[in-house]
Chain A
Amino acid sequence: MISSETLADQMIDRHCACITEAAQETFASVCGMEIAVADEQRVETRDGVILSVISLVGDIEWSVILGLPSGTAAAAAAKFAGFEIPFESEDMGDAIGELTNIFAGLVKSKLDATGIKVEISLPSVVRAKGLEVLVQRKATSMKIIFTSEAGLLWAGVVAGQAAAGLGG
Protein backbone atom coordinates (compact mmCIF):
# COMPACT_ATOMS: atom_id res chain seq x y z
CA MET A 1 0.00 0.00 0.00
CA ILE A 2 1.27 3.44 -0.89
CA SER A 3 1.17 5.86 2.03
CA SER A 4 -0.85 9.05 1.71
CA GLU A 5 2.34 11.06 2.16
CA THR A 6 3.83 9.34 -0.87
CA LEU A 7 0.65 10.06 -2.84
CA ALA A 8 0.83 13.71 -1.83
CA ASP A 9 4.46 13.72 -3.02
CA GLN A 10 3.42 12.21 -6.32
CA MET A 11 0.64 14.75 -6.74
CA ILE A 12 3.03 17.65 -6.21
CA ASP A 13 5.64 16.12 -8.54
CA ARG A 14 3.02 15.52 -11.21
CA HIS A 15 1.76 19.09 -11.03
CA CYS A 16 5.07 20.86 -10.39
CA ALA A 17 4.99 22.23 -13.93
CA CYS A 18 1.62 23.87 -13.38
CA ILE A 19 2.95 25.74 -10.32
CA THR A 20 6.00 26.94 -12.25
CA GLU A 21 3.95 27.93 -15.30
CA ALA A 22 1.29 29.68 -13.21
CA ALA A 23 3.96 31.73 -11.40
CA GLN A 24 5.68 32.67 -14.65
CA GLU A 25 2.38 33.61 -16.34
CA THR A 26 1.30 35.66 -13.32
CA PHE A 27 4.44 37.79 -13.22
CA ALA A 28 4.62 38.12 -17.00
CA SER A 29 1.02 39.20 -17.48
CA VAL A 30 0.49 41.28 -14.33
CA CYS A 31 3.92 42.83 -13.80
CA GLY A 32 5.55 42.43 -17.20
CA MET A 33 8.37 40.59 -15.42
CA GLU A 34 10.07 37.48 -16.71
CA ILE A 35 10.93 35.03 -13.97
CA ALA A 36 13.05 31.91 -14.42
CA VAL A 37 13.77 28.98 -12.13
CA ALA A 38 16.94 29.82 -10.19
CA ASP A 39 19.82 27.69 -8.95
CA GLU A 40 19.76 29.33 -5.51
CA GLN A 41 18.64 27.18 -2.61
CA ARG A 42 17.79 30.03 -0.25
CA VAL A 43 16.26 33.51 -0.43
CA GLU A 44 17.57 36.18 1.94
CA THR A 45 14.74 37.65 4.04
CA ARG A 46 16.66 39.70 6.64
CA ASP A 47 15.58 43.03 5.12
CA GLY A 48 11.95 42.02 5.06
CA VAL A 49 9.76 39.60 3.18
CA ILE A 50 6.11 39.39 2.28
CA LEU A 51 4.41 36.01 2.17
CA SER A 52 0.97 35.37 0.76
CA VAL A 53 -0.93 32.09 1.09
CA ILE A 54 -4.11 30.81 -0.57
CA SER A 55 -5.75 27.44 0.12
CA LEU A 56 -7.04 25.24 -2.68
CA VAL A 57 -9.57 22.78 -1.34
CA GLY A 58 -11.54 20.12 -3.19
CA ASP A 59 -10.19 16.98 -4.86
CA ILE A 60 -6.86 17.95 -3.31
CA GLU A 61 -5.87 20.11 -0.33
CA TRP A 62 -3.09 22.49 -1.21
CA SER A 63 -1.82 25.81 0.04
CA VAL A 64 -0.05 27.83 -2.62
CA ILE A 65 2.43 30.43 -1.46
CA LEU A 66 4.24 33.38 -2.98
CA GLY A 67 7.22 34.79 -1.10
CA LEU A 68 8.88 38.05 -2.11
CA PRO A 69 11.78 39.77 -0.34
CA SER A 70 11.26 43.52 0.15
CA GLY A 71 13.15 44.64 -3.00
CA THR A 72 11.38 42.17 -5.28
CA ALA A 73 8.02 42.95 -3.68
CA ALA A 74 8.45 46.70 -4.18
CA ALA A 75 9.40 46.28 -7.85
CA ALA A 76 6.62 43.78 -8.60
CA ALA A 77 3.97 45.84 -6.80
CA ALA A 78 5.03 49.04 -8.62
CA LYS A 79 4.79 47.31 -11.99
CA PHE A 80 1.42 45.81 -11.08
CA ALA A 81 -0.14 49.01 -9.76
CA GLY A 82 1.62 51.50 -11.99
CA PHE A 83 2.83 53.58 -9.03
CA GLU A 84 5.34 53.15 -6.19
CA ILE A 85 4.05 51.29 -3.14
CA PRO A 86 6.12 51.49 0.08
CA PHE A 87 7.00 48.05 1.44
CA GLU A 88 5.59 48.93 4.86
CA SER A 89 2.23 50.17 3.54
CA GLU A 90 -1.15 48.44 3.65
CA ASP A 91 -1.31 48.67 -0.16
CA MET A 92 1.71 46.37 -0.38
CA GLY A 93 -0.24 43.55 1.30
CA ASP A 94 -3.13 44.26 -1.02
CA ALA A 95 -0.98 44.13 -4.16
CA ILE A 96 0.85 40.92 -3.25
CA GLY A 97 -2.42 39.34 -2.06
CA GLU A 98 -3.94 40.13 -5.46
CA LEU A 99 -0.89 38.71 -7.28
CA THR A 100 -1.33 35.51 -5.25
CA ASN A 101 -5.03 35.49 -6.08
CA ILE A 102 -4.20 35.56 -9.79
CA PHE A 103 -1.47 32.92 -9.31
CA ALA A 104 -3.90 30.63 -7.42
CA GLY A 105 -6.58 31.22 -10.07
CA LEU A 106 -4.16 30.08 -12.76
CA VAL A 107 -3.15 27.01 -10.71
CA LYS A 108 -6.84 26.23 -10.25
CA SER A 109 -7.55 26.51 -13.96
CA LYS A 110 -4.52 24.32 -14.84
CA LEU A 111 -5.63 21.67 -12.31
CA ASP A 112 -9.17 21.89 -13.68
CA ALA A 113 -7.82 21.05 -17.15
CA THR A 114 -6.49 17.78 -15.71
CA GLY A 115 -9.81 16.93 -14.05
CA ILE A 116 -8.96 18.14 -10.53
CA LYS A 117 -11.63 20.42 -9.06
CA VAL A 118 -10.80 22.88 -6.28
CA GLU A 119 -12.13 26.07 -4.72
CA ILE A 120 -9.78 28.84 -3.66
CA SER A 121 -9.75 30.84 -0.43
CA LEU A 122 -9.03 34.51 0.14
CA PRO A 123 -5.32 35.32 0.49
CA SER A 124 -3.61 35.61 3.87
CA VAL A 125 -0.64 37.96 3.72
CA VAL A 126 2.21 38.23 6.23
CA ARG A 127 5.03 40.79 6.27
CA ALA A 128 8.08 40.11 8.43
CA LYS A 129 11.86 40.11 8.68
CA GLY A 130 13.85 36.89 8.62
CA LEU A 131 10.71 34.82 8.19
CA GLU A 132 11.05 31.08 7.81
CA VAL A 133 8.20 28.86 6.62
CA LEU A 134 7.80 25.76 8.74
CA VAL A 135 5.77 22.92 7.28
CA GLN A 136 3.74 20.45 9.36
CA ARG A 137 5.47 17.13 9.88
CA LYS A 138 2.88 15.15 7.91
CA ALA A 139 2.54 17.63 5.07
CA THR A 140 4.45 17.51 1.81
CA SER A 141 5.85 20.68 0.34
CA MET A 142 7.71 22.03 -2.63
CA LYS A 143 9.43 25.37 -3.09
CA ILE A 144 10.57 26.79 -6.42
CA ILE A 145 12.97 29.74 -6.31
CA PHE A 146 12.81 32.14 -9.25
CA THR A 147 15.17 34.82 -10.39
CA SER A 148 13.92 38.06 -11.93
CA GLU A 149 15.20 41.50 -12.92
CA ALA A 150 14.01 42.70 -9.49
CA GLY A 151 15.62 39.91 -7.46
CA LEU A 152 14.69 36.48 -6.16
CA LEU A 153 11.24 35.27 -5.17
CA TRP A 154 9.67 31.92 -4.58
CA ALA A 155 6.48 30.01 -5.20
CA GLY A 156 5.55 27.02 -3.12
CA VAL A 157 2.90 24.48 -2.44
CA VAL A 158 2.09 22.57 0.74
CA ALA A 159 -0.11 19.51 0.29
CA GLY A 160 -2.23 17.95 3.01
CA GLN A 161 -3.02 14.25 3.16
CA ALA A 162 -6.70 14.44 2.29
CA ALA A 163 -7.67 13.24 -1.16
CA ALA A 164 -3.99 13.03 -2.05
CA GLY A 165 -4.52 10.06 -4.34
CA LEU A 166 -7.15 11.61 -6.56
CA GLY A 167 -7.00 12.72 -10.14
CA GLY A 168 -4.19 13.94 -12.25
Chain B
Amino acid sequence: MQVVAKAYWLPKKGHEEAEYEDAFAPDSVTLETDLFRCAIADGATEASFSKQWARTLVREWENGSLTKEQFVADISRLQENWRRGFTEVRQRGKLAWYAEQKAEFGAFAALVGFVLHHDRHEAGADEPGDSEAGNSAVQDDIAEPADSAAQEAPAEQAKVPAEAPQLEVPWWEAVAVGDCNLFQLRGGKLLTAFPLTTSAQFTGGPFLVSTRGTAGNDLLRHLRVAHGDWQPHDTFYLMTDALAAWFLRCCEAGEQPWDVLEQVLGTADPQEEFSSLVRGLREQKLLHNDDVTLLAIHVDQALVAAAATAPPLIAWEEPAADDTGAAAPADPTDTPQGGEQES
Protein backbone atom coordinates (compact mmCIF):
# COMPACT_ATOMS: atom_id res chain seq x y z
CA MET B 1 0.00 0.00 0.00
CA GLN B 2 1.09 3.55 -0.52
CA VAL B 3 0.88 5.76 2.54
CA VAL B 4 1.26 9.51 2.54
CA ALA B 5 1.38 10.97 6.04
CA LYS B 6 2.16 14.48 7.12
CA ALA B 7 1.87 16.35 10.40
CA TYR B 8 0.71 19.95 10.83
CA TRP B 9 1.02 21.75 14.12
CA LEU B 10 0.93 25.04 15.95
CA PRO B 11 1.74 25.94 19.56
CA LYS B 12 -0.89 27.61 21.65
CA LYS B 13 -1.24 31.35 21.21
CA GLY B 14 1.28 33.23 23.34
CA HIS B 15 3.71 30.32 23.41
CA GLU B 16 7.00 29.77 21.64
CA GLU B 17 7.50 26.84 19.29
CA ALA B 18 9.88 25.36 21.89
CA GLU B 19 6.98 25.26 24.33
CA TYR B 20 4.77 23.15 22.08
CA GLU B 21 4.01 20.00 24.07
CA ASP B 22 2.18 17.83 21.55
CA ALA B 23 4.16 15.20 19.69
CA PHE B 24 3.77 13.21 16.48
CA ALA B 25 5.56 10.53 14.56
CA PRO B 26 6.34 10.37 11.75
CA ASP B 27 6.68 13.95 10.58
CA SER B 28 6.25 13.52 6.85
CA VAL B 29 6.50 10.32 4.81
CA THR B 30 5.48 8.85 1.50
CA LEU B 31 6.18 5.15 1.34
CA GLU B 32 5.22 1.76 0.00
CA THR B 33 4.73 -0.59 2.92
CA ASP B 34 2.65 -3.44 4.28
CA LEU B 35 2.61 -2.01 7.77
CA PHE B 36 2.46 1.63 8.78
CA ARG B 37 2.61 2.87 12.37
CA CYS B 38 2.05 6.41 13.55
CA ALA B 39 0.93 8.27 16.66
CA ILE B 40 0.19 11.63 18.17
CA ALA B 41 0.33 12.61 21.82
CA ASP B 42 -0.59 15.64 23.88
CA GLY B 43 1.67 16.40 26.84
CA ALA B 44 -0.17 17.85 29.84
CA THR B 45 0.58 21.54 30.39
CA GLU B 46 0.15 21.27 34.16
CA ALA B 47 3.10 18.91 34.50
CA SER B 48 6.74 19.41 33.58
CA PHE B 49 8.67 17.29 31.09
CA SER B 50 5.38 16.36 29.40
CA LYS B 51 6.78 17.27 26.01
CA GLN B 52 9.58 14.75 26.45
CA TRP B 53 7.13 12.10 27.63
CA ALA B 54 4.78 12.73 24.70
CA ARG B 55 7.72 12.43 22.31
CA THR B 56 8.83 9.20 23.95
CA LEU B 57 5.39 7.69 23.53
CA VAL B 58 4.97 8.50 19.84
CA ARG B 59 8.52 7.47 18.99
CA GLU B 60 8.12 4.14 20.77
CA TRP B 61 4.79 3.54 19.07
CA GLU B 62 6.15 4.38 15.65
CA ASN B 63 9.10 2.03 15.96
CA GLY B 64 6.96 -0.79 17.33
CA SER B 65 8.42 -0.85 20.83
CA LEU B 66 5.07 0.24 22.24
CA THR B 67 2.30 -2.02 21.00
CA LYS B 68 -1.37 -2.61 21.51
CA GLU B 69 -0.83 -6.21 22.57
CA GLN B 70 1.69 -5.40 25.30
CA PHE B 71 0.56 -1.87 25.99
CA VAL B 72 0.59 -1.93 29.79
CA ALA B 73 3.85 -3.87 30.04
CA ASP B 74 5.46 -1.60 27.44
CA ILE B 75 4.37 1.49 29.35
CA SER B 76 5.74 -0.04 32.56
CA ARG B 77 9.10 -0.48 30.86
CA LEU B 78 9.06 3.13 29.64
CA GLN B 79 8.13 4.33 33.13
CA GLU B 80 11.05 2.39 34.56
CA ASN B 81 13.41 3.95 31.99
CA TRP B 82 12.01 7.35 32.83
CA ARG B 83 12.54 6.80 36.56
CA ARG B 84 16.11 5.68 35.98
CA GLY B 85 16.83 8.71 33.83
CA PHE B 86 15.27 11.05 36.36
CA THR B 87 17.27 9.51 39.20
CA GLU B 88 20.50 10.03 37.25
CA VAL B 89 19.66 13.66 36.57
CA ARG B 90 18.77 14.21 40.21
CA GLN B 91 22.00 12.60 41.37
CA ARG B 92 23.95 14.97 39.20
CA GLY B 93 22.34 17.72 41.27
CA LYS B 94 21.49 19.82 38.25
CA LEU B 95 17.82 20.32 39.03
CA ALA B 96 16.51 23.31 40.95
CA TRP B 97 14.48 22.40 44.05
CA TYR B 98 11.20 23.21 42.29
CA ALA B 99 12.11 21.31 39.13
CA GLU B 100 12.91 18.25 41.20
CA GLN B 101 9.70 18.46 43.20
CA LYS B 102 7.61 19.10 40.11
CA ALA B 103 9.19 16.20 38.25
CA GLU B 104 8.32 13.89 41.12
CA PHE B 105 4.65 14.44 40.30
CA GLY B 106 5.32 12.84 36.94
CA ALA B 107 4.69 13.79 33.34
CA PHE B 108 1.42 13.01 31.57
CA ALA B 109 0.22 12.67 28.01
CA ALA B 110 -2.80 11.63 25.97
CA LEU B 111 -2.01 9.26 23.11
CA VAL B 112 -3.49 7.78 19.97
CA GLY B 113 -1.45 5.06 18.31
CA PHE B 114 -2.55 3.93 14.86
CA VAL B 115 -1.52 1.03 12.60
CA LEU B 116 -2.44 0.38 8.98
CA HIS B 117 -2.16 -3.21 7.78
CA HIS B 118 -2.10 -4.14 4.15
CA ASP B 119 -2.25 -7.88 4.71
CA ARG B 120 -5.58 -9.62 4.96
CA HIS B 121 -6.28 -11.71 7.95
CA GLU B 122 -7.68 -15.18 7.35
CA ALA B 123 -11.30 -14.95 8.30
CA GLY B 124 -13.13 -17.62 10.27
CA ALA B 125 -16.00 -19.43 8.60
CA ASP B 126 -18.66 -17.48 10.42
CA GLU B 127 -17.14 -14.05 10.14
CA PRO B 128 -19.73 -11.52 9.12
CA GLY B 129 -17.75 -10.72 6.06
CA ASP B 130 -20.54 -9.70 3.77
CA SER B 131 -22.83 -7.90 6.09
CA GLU B 132 -24.64 -4.89 4.74
CA ALA B 133 -24.44 -3.23 8.11
CA GLY B 134 -21.65 -0.92 7.16
CA ASN B 135 -17.94 -0.43 7.12
CA SER B 136 -17.55 1.08 10.50
CA ALA B 137 -14.89 0.49 13.09
CA VAL B 138 -15.33 -1.61 16.14
CA GLN B 139 -14.14 -0.76 19.61
CA ASP B 140 -12.65 -3.93 20.96
CA ASP B 141 -13.23 -5.43 24.34
CA ILE B 142 -10.20 -5.35 26.54
CA ALA B 143 -9.43 -8.52 28.42
CA GLU B 144 -9.07 -7.46 32.00
CA PRO B 145 -7.72 -9.89 34.57
CA ALA B 146 -10.34 -12.57 35.04
CA ASP B 147 -10.80 -12.55 38.80
CA SER B 148 -10.86 -9.90 41.44
CA ALA B 149 -7.54 -11.01 42.88
CA ALA B 150 -5.97 -10.15 39.60
CA GLN B 151 -6.86 -6.52 40.16
CA GLU B 152 -3.74 -6.43 42.27
CA ALA B 153 -1.65 -8.11 39.62
CA PRO B 154 1.49 -6.33 38.56
CA ALA B 155 1.16 -4.29 35.45
CA GLU B 156 3.18 -6.70 33.37
CA GLN B 157 0.56 -9.39 33.86
CA ALA B 158 -2.37 -7.27 32.80
CA LYS B 159 -3.47 -8.40 29.38
CA VAL B 160 -4.45 -5.95 26.76
CA PRO B 161 -6.72 -7.72 24.41
CA ALA B 162 -7.49 -7.89 21.86
CA GLU B 163 -7.56 -10.77 19.61
CA ALA B 164 -6.31 -9.85 16.22
CA PRO B 165 -9.38 -9.02 14.25
CA GLN B 166 -10.27 -11.58 11.61
CA LEU B 167 -10.73 -9.46 8.57
CA GLU B 168 -10.64 -10.41 4.96
CA VAL B 169 -9.62 -6.92 4.07
CA PRO B 170 -6.82 -4.48 4.60
CA TRP B 171 -7.37 -3.19 8.10
CA TRP B 172 -6.35 -0.71 10.71
CA GLU B 173 -6.13 -0.79 14.48
CA ALA B 174 -5.76 1.93 17.07
CA VAL B 175 -5.23 2.46 20.76
CA ALA B 176 -6.13 5.56 22.73
CA VAL B 177 -5.71 6.89 26.23
CA GLY B 178 -7.13 10.35 26.86
CA ASP B 179 -8.55 12.83 24.41
CA CYS B 180 -6.44 12.63 21.28
CA ASN B 181 -8.74 11.38 18.54
CA LEU B 182 -8.77 9.40 15.31
CA PHE B 183 -11.14 10.14 12.45
CA GLN B 184 -11.65 8.01 9.34
CA LEU B 185 -13.19 9.53 6.25
CA ARG B 186 -14.44 7.80 3.16
CA GLY B 187 -16.29 9.16 0.17
CA GLY B 188 -16.96 12.53 1.77
CA LYS B 189 -18.37 11.03 4.94
CA LEU B 190 -17.12 10.58 8.45
CA LEU B 191 -16.90 6.86 9.06
CA THR B 192 -15.21 6.64 12.44
CA ALA B 193 -14.46 8.84 15.41
CA PHE B 194 -12.35 7.20 18.09
CA PRO B 195 -12.22 7.15 21.07
CA LEU B 196 -14.44 10.22 21.57
CA THR B 197 -17.51 10.66 19.42
CA THR B 198 -19.09 13.88 20.65
CA SER B 199 -17.65 17.30 21.40
CA ALA B 200 -19.21 17.18 24.87
CA GLN B 201 -16.81 14.39 25.78
CA PHE B 202 -13.87 16.79 25.67
CA THR B 203 -14.03 17.76 29.30
CA GLY B 204 -10.40 18.76 29.73
CA GLY B 205 -9.61 16.31 32.50
CA PRO B 206 -9.09 12.86 30.99
CA PHE B 207 -7.03 10.01 32.39
CA LEU B 208 -3.57 10.26 30.80
CA VAL B 209 -0.56 8.03 30.36
CA SER B 210 1.77 8.90 33.23
CA THR B 211 5.45 8.43 33.86
CA ARG B 212 4.52 7.37 37.34
CA GLY B 213 2.68 4.59 38.92
CA THR B 214 2.40 0.90 38.85
CA ALA B 215 -1.33 1.12 38.42
CA GLY B 216 -1.40 -1.03 35.31
CA ASN B 217 -5.01 -1.90 35.84
CA ASP B 218 -5.94 1.77 35.97
CA LEU B 219 -4.23 2.25 32.65
CA LEU B 220 -5.93 -0.83 31.29
CA ARG B 221 -9.30 0.47 32.39
CA HIS B 222 -8.78 3.68 30.48
CA LEU B 223 -7.20 2.15 27.40
CA ARG B 224 -9.44 2.10 24.35
CA VAL B 225 -8.74 -0.07 21.33
CA ALA B 226 -10.49 -0.27 18.00
CA HIS B 227 -10.09 -1.71 14.54
CA GLY B 228 -11.73 -1.45 11.15
CA ASP B 229 -11.15 -1.84 7.48
CA TRP B 230 -9.75 0.65 5.06
CA GLN B 231 -10.20 1.18 1.37
CA PRO B 232 -8.09 2.96 -1.17
CA HIS B 233 -8.57 6.71 -0.93
CA ASP B 234 -9.60 6.62 2.72
CA THR B 235 -8.27 9.48 4.80
CA PHE B 236 -7.34 9.21 8.46
CA TYR B 237 -6.83 12.20 10.73
CA LEU B 238 -5.19 12.02 14.12
CA MET B 239 -5.86 15.17 16.14
CA THR B 240 -5.08 16.52 19.57
CA ASP B 241 -8.03 17.62 21.66
CA ALA B 242 -8.69 21.24 20.70
CA LEU B 243 -8.86 20.47 16.97
CA ALA B 244 -10.76 17.21 17.50
CA ALA B 245 -13.38 19.00 19.62
CA TRP B 246 -13.80 21.64 16.90
CA PHE B 247 -14.05 18.92 14.26
CA LEU B 248 -16.83 17.13 16.15
CA ARG B 249 -18.65 20.38 16.91
CA CYS B 250 -18.73 21.11 13.18
CA CYS B 251 -20.07 17.62 12.48
CA GLU B 252 -22.76 18.09 15.12
CA ALA B 253 -23.77 21.35 13.40
CA GLY B 254 -24.19 19.51 10.10
CA GLU B 255 -20.99 20.85 8.61
CA GLN B 256 -18.22 18.91 6.90
CA PRO B 257 -14.98 20.11 8.53
CA TRP B 258 -12.93 17.64 6.52
CA ASP B 259 -13.68 19.74 3.43
CA VAL B 260 -12.01 22.69 5.16
CA LEU B 261 -9.01 20.59 6.10
CA GLU B 262 -8.64 19.00 2.67
CA GLN B 263 -8.75 22.41 1.09
CA VAL B 264 -6.04 23.66 3.43
CA LEU B 265 -3.85 20.60 2.97
CA GLY B 266 -4.17 20.85 -0.81
CA THR B 267 -2.61 24.30 -1.00
CA ALA B 268 0.96 25.08 -1.98
CA ASP B 269 1.98 25.83 1.61
CA PRO B 270 -0.29 23.64 3.71
CA GLN B 271 1.53 24.24 7.02
CA GLU B 272 1.14 27.99 6.68
CA GLU B 273 -2.49 27.61 5.60
CA PHE B 274 -3.11 25.26 8.50
CA SER B 275 -1.58 27.76 10.94
CA SER B 276 -3.72 30.48 9.45
CA LEU B 277 -6.86 28.35 9.79
CA VAL B 278 -6.09 27.60 13.45
CA ARG B 279 -5.35 31.24 14.26
CA GLY B 280 -8.62 32.27 12.63
CA LEU B 281 -10.64 29.69 14.53
CA ARG B 282 -9.01 30.80 17.79
CA GLU B 283 -9.87 34.41 17.09
CA GLN B 284 -13.47 33.46 16.44
CA LYS B 285 -13.43 31.52 19.73
CA LEU B 286 -14.26 28.37 17.80
CA LEU B 287 -11.06 26.65 18.89
CA HIS B 288 -9.76 26.43 22.42
CA ASN B 289 -6.33 28.04 22.84
CA ASP B 290 -4.14 24.97 23.07
CA ASP B 291 -1.35 23.29 21.17
CA VAL B 292 -2.83 21.91 17.97
CA THR B 293 -1.68 18.90 15.98
CA LEU B 294 -3.08 17.18 12.92
CA LEU B 295 -1.52 14.07 11.42
CA ALA B 296 -3.15 13.44 8.05
CA ILE B 297 -2.82 10.01 6.47
CA HIS B 298 -3.91 9.17 2.97
CA VAL B 299 -3.86 5.59 1.72
CA ASP B 300 -3.55 4.30 -1.81
CA GLN B 301 -4.84 7.35 -3.52
CA ALA B 302 -3.59 5.96 -6.81
CA LEU B 303 -5.82 2.93 -6.47
CA VAL B 304 -9.07 4.80 -6.36
CA ALA B 305 -10.15 3.70 -9.78
CA ALA B 306 -9.50 0.05 -8.99
CA ALA B 307 -11.42 0.33 -5.75
CA ALA B 308 -14.48 1.54 -7.51
CA THR B 309 -14.99 -1.88 -8.99
CA ALA B 310 -13.78 -3.91 -6.01
CA PRO B 311 -16.19 -5.85 -3.80
CA PRO B 312 -17.21 -4.20 -0.55
CA LEU B 313 -14.61 -4.32 2.18
CA ILE B 314 -16.18 -4.77 5.51
CA ALA B 315 -15.21 -5.07 9.12
CA TRP B 316 -18.18 -5.63 11.23
CA GLU B 317 -18.94 -7.21 14.54
CA GLU B 318 -22.17 -7.56 16.42
CA PRO B 319 -22.26 -4.65 18.84
CA ALA B 320 -22.83 -5.26 22.51
CA ALA B 321 -26.37 -4.57 23.63
CA ASP B 322 -25.40 -1.28 25.25
CA ASP B 323 -23.22 -0.03 22.43
CA THR B 324 -24.14 3.24 20.90
CA GLY B 325 -24.39 1.56 17.52
CA ALA B 326 -21.80 0.12 15.22
CA ALA B 327 -23.36 1.04 11.94
CA ALA B 328 -21.72 3.64 9.83
CA PRO B 329 -23.45 6.98 9.87
CA ALA B 330 -25.68 7.48 6.89
CA ASP B 331 -24.64 11.07 6.53
CA PRO B 332 -22.01 13.30 8.01
CA THR B 333 -24.32 14.72 10.61
CA ASP B 334 -24.90 11.34 12.17
CA THR B 335 -23.04 10.40 15.27
CA PRO B 336 -19.98 8.54 14.17
CA GLN B 337 -19.34 5.09 15.47
CA GLY B 338 -17.48 4.69 18.68
CA GLY B 339 -18.36 5.76 22.18
CA GLU B 340 -17.11 5.28 25.67
CA GLN B 341 -16.87 1.66 26.49
CA GLU B 342 -16.03 0.50 29.94
CA SER B 343 -14.67 -2.95 29.86
**Are chains A and B native binding partners rather than an unrelated pairing?**
no
- Listed in ascending order, the chain B residues whose CB lies under 8 Å from chain A are none
Binding site for B on A (CB under 8 A): none
